[in-house]
Structure 1
Amino acid sequence: MSTQQSVSAEVVRARTFRYTWWLAALAVIVVISTVRLYTGTDRITAPGTLRAAIIGACPILLAGLGGLWAERAGIVNIGLEGQMLLGTWGAAFFAYHYGPLAGVLGAALMGLIGGLLHAIATVSFGVDHIISGVAINIVGLGAVGFLAKTTFDDLDGGGPRNLSGYSTPPEFTVPLIADGARSLADKHWFVISDVAGAVAGVTTRLSVLTVLAFVLVAVTAWVLWRTSFGLRLRSCGENPQAAETLGINVYRYKYVAVLISGAFAGLGGAYLAMVASSSFTVGQTGGRGYIGLATMIFGNWRPSGVLTGALMFGYTDGVSLLSNSGAIVHALLLLVAILLAVFAVLKVRGGERVTGFVIAGISVGAFVWYFLSETVDASFTGMTPYVVTLFVLAVFSQRLRMPAADGKPYRRGGAG
Structure 2
Amino acid sequence: YLRGDQIIAGVGFNTLAYGISIMGLVTIWKQHGASPSVNKIPMISLRIREGLTFTISPLSIVAILIAIGAWYWLFKTTSGLKLRACGEDPKSAEAMGVNVFRTRFYATVIGGILTGLGGAYLTDGWIGQFTRHISAGRGFIALANVAFSNWNPLMAIVGGMIFGFFDVLSIYLPIKIQLIYPEVKVTTLAYLFKTIPYIGTLAVVSLIIGRARVPRALGKPYIKE
Displacement after TM superposition at 1:379 (Å): 3.4
Alpha-carbon distance in 1 for matches of 2:73, 2:155: 16
Q: What is the aligned partner in structure 1 of residue 59 from structure 2?
A: 209
Deviations along 1:364-397, one digit per CA (max 9) or x if unpaired, are: xxxxxxxxxxx9x543221011011111111111
The gaps in structure 2 that reach 5 residues or longer are: 179-185
Rg comparison, structure with higher value: 1
Percent identity, please: 32
Displacement after TM superposition at 1:171 (Å): 2.4
The reply to whether residue 400 of structure 1 matches residue 212 of structure 2 is yes
Displacement after TM superposition at 1:160 (Å): 3.2
Report 1:3-402 matches (<5 A): 124-153=1-30, 159-174=31-46, 178-180=47-49, 183=51, 200-201=53-54, 204=55, 206-322=56-172, 324-325=174-175, 327=177, 377-402=189-214
Secondary structure in 1 matching 2:35: strand
The gaps in structure 1 that reach 5 residues or longer are: 1-123, 154-158, 186-199, 329-374
- The one-letter code sitting in structure 2 at the alignment partner of 1:234 is R
- The one-letter code sitting in structure 1 at the alignment partner of 2:73 is V
Q: TM-score, normalised by structure 2?
A: 0.88
Kept in 2: contact 1:299–1:309 (CA 8 A): yes
- The one-letter code sitting in structure 2 at the alignment partner of 1:409 is P
Alpha-carbon distance in 1 for matches of 2:210, 2:191: 31
Alpha-carbon distance in 1 for matches of 2:156, 2:59: 18
- The one-letter code sitting in structure 2 at the alignment partner of 1:149 is V
Displacement after TM superposition at 1:140 (Å): 1.2
- The one-letter code sitting in structure 2 at the alignment partner of 1:403 is P
Kept in 1: contact 2:40–2:126 (CA 8 A): no
Secondary structure in 2 matching 1:247: coil
Q: TM-score, normalised by structure 1?
A: 0.49
Alpha-carbon distance in 2 for matches of 1:147, 1:307: 32
Kept in 2: contact 1:148–1:160 (CA 8 A): yes
RMSD over aligned CA atoms reads 2.0
